[in-house]
Structure 1
Amino acid sequence: MSLINQMLKDLDARKQQGASHAAQEAEIVVCHPPQRSRFRTVAVLVAVTSLCVGGWWWFSSQATVVIPPASLQTQQQQKVESVALIEAVPSTETVVAPVEFSAAQQLSEPVVVPVLAKSSGSPLNVAVVNLPVERLSEADAEGELQLSAVNLTARPSIPSARLVIEPPNLAEQAQQLRREGRAFIHQQQYHSGAQLLNQALELDHGSAQQWQELVRACVQAGDLSSAMDAVIRGCEAYSNDVGLRVYRARLIVETGDYHSALTVLQTGATPSVGASSDYYALLASVLQQLSQFTEAAAQYALLTTTYPQRGDWWIGRAVCADQLGLAQHAITYYQQAIRCQQLNPQLKQFAVQQLTRLGKG
């Protein structure tokens, strides 16, 4: 109990001492705030500067990109690499930027800057990338100033070499076709050869001999209608050619129209016997078929006089004399025909039979 009483007394004594101290005036102590760190100040300045730079960059990106004129200090080509998104409407206009040029700059091309008008419409993103800028040195610019205006505007152009391959003309093409056609005829491919010869004459009218060549090829191919067409075209191109007239008359004789054949032969100039014996031989044969024996005998007489070794023409003359009642003349002509060494065996047998009939066999 004594211990407890002692503890209570001590507790009362402490309470009394605390009340006395509360009655005393409290001492006011002034506390100075701690000094701010220099690092924090620098950080704040850096943050403010970054915000300013970022705001300036954002504002400048919204404006129109203007390409400055090229500097004329070096001769090298540089590339201005800048990419900007430009807000503009689809319609654009091109203006020349009012930039003052030096004497050296005026020699180069004017700087053309595309200006895109702003509008409330939908923005158009335009990228300006890698624009080549050609530069001149001051020495080159001074040298260019000494040139005249004529030299600046009219400079001689260097002629470019051109390789011109001209196609062959019509005559050369026709000649090539004739060579190929003759090669086919030589191989006895007459139809193919005639087609090529006809194509050649369609390109180039050629000569009368070339028309005769086409007619012969058609006859050898057995195409008489094409041969007649070719000979008619040839006679229209060369009306005075005797060879074409003879070919045409022979083709007509194949049809049995002797009067038309005679008309063809007698149209145009008459050649000499030495120049065209075929003409006289065909004319005499046609006259004989038309029973015009006197005229036919006259033609055979010209032939046998010029070519006495042709036994067939002697036989033709003998037939005409026999038809005219000149039996003795007929016998003489038959005998002359037999003496010809190149006489056809059938014609020789015919002459022997006629001599027997006339009493001289």
Structure 2
Amino acid sequence: MSLINKMLQDLDARRSEVAGNDALGMQIRAVPQRRGIHPAWWVCLALAIVSAGLAGWMLLRPAPVAATSPAVAGVPLRLDVRLEPPPADQAAAVPVRGAETPPSVPGASAASAPDAVVPVVQAPAPATPAPAVAPRAAPPEPARPLPIEPVVEPRNPTVSQSPQSVAAPWAEQTGAAPVATGAKQVKELTPPQRAENEYRKALGLLQQGKGTDAAIMLEQSLNLDPHHVGARQALISILLDAARRDEALRLAREGLARDPSQAGLAMIAARIQVERGELQPAVETLEHSLSHASEQPDYLAFLAALQQRAERHKQAVELYVKALQRSPQNGIWWMGMAISLQADQRKAEAAEAFRRAKASGALSPELQAFVDGRLAQLR
């Protein structure tokens, strides 16, 4: 078109040479030069924009998932899959863009999510240089595989260990040696526990009337545990029934020597001593354990009666008063205190004590007659 315009301009310049009345010369004019853009350039511009957009999409599209692809360009892939989520500061760098993956990956899907997280693929660098792309953040370092520790099953002593290997540490901690019976372990009883078992067996024999066998079991119990009070008292009772008072007294004294707080043993020993005519030793036996039996009215009344026999009436009255404070309806104790009061020449108090004893209703006919006689003397 420009060539044609040039030619027409030359003709127009030579128009003056043509006759003015020439009709052909008047009709031929040069086309004026156009100042606008030709439409073809608009078409080219649109094609360029579309091509640039397509190229940009190809460069910035997400990386295809290579899970189903066996290899890239014939090179085997090595996958390091993260076993734990990436740190917060690397969360934005996890997605892998398409520029980092060779373009010729068979089976890749173009519809992948833009920011999908895919496993990090480490492959040898391609021979040809990668196209230049815009500067971007460096990809995160591949996570090291998490070491998997072997699972250690708990040791089961009853299955994987022998009873002897289990018994050693157990015996060191508890102080008692276990006895292995097959796969089970039976804890050996301590001497006090064995003594208690022997004592219970002896009580069963006593209920059956087998006193001799029961005495043997009780002796075995005391040999295992000399502090077993029940076994000692039961054996003393069997010995007293068999009129073996010396052996019974010996056992009672041995028990008191080990534990003076056993008031029951003190009363048994004092009673045996009284029967043997040993009044003062009996009083001493009871006084030795009095601090442990100051709240027991029977113990106090028994010692008061022995003091009365020993002509110690003031001490007897004091002990009777303490006993009657804890059991004021005992007529026998009122009568005993009245006797000591009368012996101490405290007649008015003695008469009142005799009346309290008679009013208790706990005296036998013989004792009531004795009280009446004493009241008559005091009148």
- TM-score w.r.t. structure 1 length? 0.50
How far 1:159 sits from its partner (Å)? Answer: 6.6
Paired amino acid for 1:286: L
Given that residues 297 and 324 in structure 2 are in contact (C-alpha distance below 8 angstroms), is that contact kept between their aligned partners in structure 1? no
Give the equivalent residue in structure 2 for 1:325: 345
Q: Deviations over 1:134-162 (max 9, x none)?
A: xxxxxxxxxxxxxxxxxxxxxxxx97678
Letter in 2 for 1:170: P
Q: Where in structure 2 are the equivalents of 1:196-235 lying within 5 Å? A: 196-235=217-256
Maintained 8 Å contact 1:311/1:336:
yes
Q: CA deviation at 1:269?
A: 5.2
**Letter of the structure 2 residue corresponding to residue 174 of structure 1:** A
Equivalents in 1 of 2:232, 2:365: separation in Å? Answer: 34
Could you tell me which residue of structure 1 aligns to residue 264 of structure 2?
243
Cα pair 1:185 1:193 within 8 Å, conserved? yes
Deviations 1:5-29 (A, max 9, x none): xxxxxxxxxxxxxxxxxxxxxxxxx
SS in 2 for 1:164: strand
> How far is the alpha carbon of 1:292 from its aligned partner?
0.7
Aligned match of 1:353: 373
Q: Give 1:271-350 correspondences, 5 Å limit.
A: 271=292, 273=294, 275-350=295-370
Conserved in 1, the CA contact under 8 Å of 2:335 and 2:353? Answer: yes
CA distance in 2, matches of 1:161, 1:315: 70
In structure 1, the partner of 2:39 is none
Distance across 2 between alignment mates of 1:292 and 1:192: 44
Aligned residues: 201
Q: Which runs of structure 1 show a deviation greater than 6 angstroms over 4 or more consecutive aligned residues?
A: 158-163
- Equivalent residue number for residue 103 of structure 2: none
Letter in 1 for 2:273: I
2:305 partner amino acid: S
Distance in 2 of aligned mates of 1:282 and 1:254: 14
Q: 1:190 to 1:309 in 2, by over 3 A?
A: farther
Match among 252, 256, 263 for residue 273 of structure 2: 252
Query: Could you list the per-position Cα deviations for residues 4-63 of structure 1 after superposition, in whole angstroms to 9, with x for gaps in the alignment?
Result: xxxxxxxxxxxxxxxxxxxxxxxxxxxxxxxxxxxxxxxxxxxxxxxxxxxxxxxxxxxx
Structure 1 residues 289 and 204: alpha-carbon distance in aligned structure 2, compared to 1, 3 A threshold:
same
SS in structure 2 at match of 1:227: helix
State the 1:188 CA deviation: 4.1
Does the C-alpha gap of structure 1 residues 234 and 356 become closer, same or farther in structure 2, counting only changes over 3 Å?
A: same
TM-score by length of 2: 0.48
> Distance in 2 between the 1:349 and 1:191 partners?
44
The DSSP-based 3-state class of the residue aligned with 1:342 is: coil
Which structure is richer in relative contact order (CA contacts within 8 A, separation 6 or more)?
1
User: Are 2:195 and 1:178 aligned?
Assistant: no
Contact 1:190–1:218, Cα closer than 8 Å, also in 2: no
Q: Deviations over 1:119-176 (max 9, x none)?
A: xxxxxxxxxxxxxxxxxxxxxxxxxxxxxxxxxxxxxxx9767882466543343222
SS in 1 for 2:335: helix
Q: Tell whether the 8 Å contact from 1:300 to 1:313 is kept in structure 2 after alignment.
A: yes
Choose from 269, 285, 299 the match for 1:264: 285
Of the structure 1 ranges 198-207 and 302-311, higher mean CA displacement relative to structure 2 is found in 198-207
Tell me which moved more, 303-312 or 346-355: 346-355
Q: Deviations over 1:161-196 (max 9, x none)?
A: 788246654334322221121112223444432332
- SS of residue paired to 1:239: coil
Unaligned runs of 5+ in 2: 1-159, 165-178
Distance 2:377 2:212 in 1: 47
Equivalent of 1:164, from 180, 188, 195?
A: 180
Same amino acid, percent of matched pairs: 23
1:95-110 equivalences in 2 (<5 Å): none
C-alpha change, 1:176 and 1:272, in structure 2 (3 Å) is closer
Report the Cα distance in structure 1 between the residues aligned to 2:163 and 2:342, rounded to whole angstroms. 83
Which residue number in structure 2 is paired with residue 89 of structure 1?
Answer: none
Amino acid across the alignment from 1:164: A
The gaps in structure 1 that reach 5 residues or longer are 1-157
